[in-house]
Amino acid sequence: MAASSPATPSLPLDGESILALAARSMFQLFSSISQGMFLVDRTGRIVWLNEGYKRFLPALGFSSAEEVVGHMIEDVVPNTQMRRVLETGQPILVDLLTNRAGTFVVSRIPLRDEHGGELIGAIGIVLFDHPETTLQPLISKFARLQRDLDDARRELASQRRTKYTLASFVGSSPPAVEVKRQARRAAVSSSPVLLLGETGTGKELLAHAIHAASARTGGPLVSVNIAAVPDTLLEAEFFGVAPGAYTGADRKGRVGKFKLADGGTLFLDEIGDMPLALQPKLLRALQEGEIEPLGSNKVVPFDARVIAATSRDLGALVREGRFREDLFYRLNVLPIRVPPLRERRTDIPSLVEVLAEDIAARGGSAAPELTADAMGLLAAQSWRGNIRELRNVLEQAAMRSDTPRIDAAQVAAVLREAGVREIVAPIVTAPAPQASGASALRPLAEQVGELERRAIAAALAATGGNKLAAARLLGISRAKLYERLATMAEFQSMPEMWTVETASFPDTSSPN
């Protein structure tokens, strides 16, 4: 018996054969493990579908595969994105598809010829037909991330809303009323606003109020304190940074404040501290309504109304060559001068009441109550730091006092420790005598003259001897006030009635 010949070993396959075999194997694998699969040609016409996909046909309005083969994919599968794959040649690996048959996790992959060049069709695969069950852990994680993102967006939006309105600018004195009138006028315009005033006068509050009263109130209010940002970072803060603009830059880039304020208002605080080298780029942005992010050669348009503020004399900076004249003219379209507190002393009682309530709310204690002499002392000071300084004095006095009631001696102690060398005392005038008997029968002109003298004395006392401010309080012109003073002998012989004096209060800061 002849010995059997050994089995002939199979020859190794070449690369193309392995690739073809792998393609067939993967196609068969996907067809067997997926929930359904179909093929379309380059025109989007269905040429084949497997047994798994046939079970979805009744829900789509078809009874057999013969009814769908040869039809366009859009006529069979509502809401499909297969046409996009055929037009772009790019796959959609994971997507959610919802139609009459239900919600599915699907994948769409373009098919090319054997050379890998020409697009010949596409394959659609139903990965999961009940994603709410199969992908529950992933869906729950996505939902949590979406909630966190929504919360972060709401928090960011709340920070960019206006905190104040014109009602927040406390005061009924003529200077305060005039500022609010100008702010209302500025709110109806889209031109730049320049707020001028000493530190602590309420310029930022007015910027918020103008935005709130404008047509842009639904948009963001983005603030930049130029004095608080280093010069080297200011350009990036304003205009943003392109992805990978420099070593260490964020790969995703960074949006600048101008673009963040798109559709709203951009508040440039302390514009007088703007570096001279950056001023031309700021001017171009304001003129053209477009910016160029750092490290980019693309121009980005923006639509933001600009409100600038400064406590410095921009005119003097222009004359000194430290601020561009053309930028000054661009910003100084609607200038609003915010008066210092010493020019609206009659507003101090109202301000004290509002500040005291805010101090109490923040500190969780009772609002401080000032005696009449303490209130008069506050109204007589010059307040170089304006409302910010007034708040500081009130807060210190409230913290040092064992009771909510604060008298003039306690206020004077705080002022003295704050470095106020001359504490101005309020003028206390004697109460007007009660009209009775013969005094009530005096000539009317004499009684009117006496009331007029008292009114003028009170106005001069309240304004610290400032005749222009006193005239505004009285509602008369400065010339009319001078005319009245010239005809009143007591104001010439006793000028101390309408000038301020240095107060003498007991020093309560010393334990002895």
DSSP H helical segments within 170-324, as ranges?
174-187, 203-213, 231-239, 257-260, 279-288, 314-319
Name the pTM for this structure. Answer: 0.58
Q: CA angle at residue 318 from 316 to 320, to 5 degrees?
A: 70
HEC letters along 343-387? HCHHHHHHHHHHHHHHHHHHHCCCCCEECHHHHHHHHHCCCCCHH
Q: Which pLDDT value is given to residue 6?
A: 54
Q: Which pLDDT value is given to residue 295?
A: 83
Residue 426 Ramachandran class (φ > 0 left, ψ -120 to 50 alpha, else beta): beta
Secondary structure element (H or E) that encloses residue 501, with its range: strand 501-502
Token pair belonging to 404: 């909510």
The Cα 194–Cα 267 span in angstroms is 10
The count of other CB atoms within 10 Å of the CB of residue 244 is: 13
Concatenating the DSSP letter of every residue in 110-160 gives EEE-TTS-SEEEEEEEEEES-HHHHTHHHHHHHHHHHHHHHHHHHHHHHHT
77 secondary structure, DSSP code = S
Reported in sequence order, the residue ranges of 401-460 that DSSP labels E, i.e. its strands, are 405-406, 424-425
The Cα 358–Cα 105 span in angstroms is 55
The one-digit pLDDT tens for each residue of the chain (512 residues) are 445 555 555 556 666 777 677 777 777 887 788 888 999 999 999 999 998 899 899 989 898 889 999 999 999 998 899 999 999 999 998 888 888 888 888 899 998 887 767 899 999 999 887 776 666 776 677 767 777 777 776 666 555 566 888 999 999 999 999 999 999 999 999 999 999 999 999 999 999 999 999 999 989 999 999 999 998 889 999 998 888 666 565 667 788 999 999 999 999 999 999 999 999 999 999 999 999 988 888 889 999 999 999 999 999 999 999 999 999 999 999 999 999 998 998 899 899 999 999 999 888 888 889 888 888 888 888 898 999 999 999 999 999 888 889 988 898 889 888 777 556 655 444 444 555 555 556 676 677 777 777 778 777 766 667 777 777 777 788 888 888 887 765 454 444 434 333 334 444 444 43
Chain-centre distance of CA 270, in angstroms?
16
The Cα 432–Cα 455 span in angstroms is 11
Q: Which pLDDT value is given to residue 511?
A: 41
Q: Which pLDDT value is given to residue 227?
A: 92
172 burial (CB, 10 Å; 0-12 / 13-18 / 19+) is: exposed
Q: Which pLDDT value is given to residue 512?
A: 39
Q: Which pLDDT value is given to residue 122?
A: 92
User: Cβ distance 159 to 208 under 8 Å?
Assistant: no
Could you identify the residue written with the tokens 């008997």? Answer: 437
Secondary structure element (H or E) that encloses residue 40, with its range: strand 36-41
Please list the residues that pair with 223 across neighbouring strands.
267
Packed helices 279-288 and 231-239: angle between N→C axes, nearest 10 degrees:
10
- Considering only CA atoms, which of 124, 12, 23, 108 is closest in space to residue 68? 124
The Cα 205–Cα 227 span in angstroms is 18
63 secondary structure, DSSP code = S
Q: Is the dihedral of CA 470, 475, 477, 479 positive or negative?
A: negative
